[in-house]
Structure 1
Amino acid sequence: MRASLREKAIAVCDRKIAQKGDAVGLSFYAFFANKNNDPALLMEAATWWIETHQLDHFEKASKIKKMLQAQV
């Protein structure tokens, strides 16, 4: 996953955790506006989420944040 997407995803996780607590769940769609204006970037996130890590549709934001931070 490219660094810019990783940084954006971590920021989204931080925001969701701050708003709703540590147990809040999200999907990779949370990293995007409700528009498909960058299909390649969306597919990159989907590939990381579904193919690479075989995650469920919704996962805890804290888990995703830790996974993203571990991938330097």
Structure 2
Amino acid sequence: MRDSLRAKAVQICNDKITKKGETVGLSFYAFFANKNDNPELLMEAATWWIQTHELDHFEKAVKVRDMILSGA
């Protein structure tokens, strides 16, 4: 996953955790606006989430953030 997407995903995870607590879940769609304006980036996130790590549709934001920060 490219660095800019990693940074954005970590920021979104942190924002969700701050607002809703450490048990909040999210999907990779949370990293994007409600429109498909960058399909290549969306597919990159989907590949990381679904194919590379075989994550469920919703995962804990803390888990996702920690995975990203660890370089997964």
Q: TM-score range by the shorter chain?
A: over 0.9
Matched, 1:26 2:22: no
* Partner of residue 13, structure 1: 13
TM-score (normalised: structure 2)? 0.98
* Partner of residue 44, structure 1: 44
* Partner of residue 53, structure 2: 53
C-alpha displacement of 1:2: 0.1
| Unaligned ranges ≥5, structure 2 | none
Residues 2-61 of structure 1 show CA distances to partners (whole Å, capped at 9, x for unaligned) of 000000000000000000000000000000000100000000000000000000000000
* Partner of residue 2, structure 1: 2
| Unaligned ranges ≥5, structure 1 | none
- Aligned residue-pair number: 72
Coordinate RMSD, CA, aligned = 0.9
Moved >3 Å (runs of 4+): none
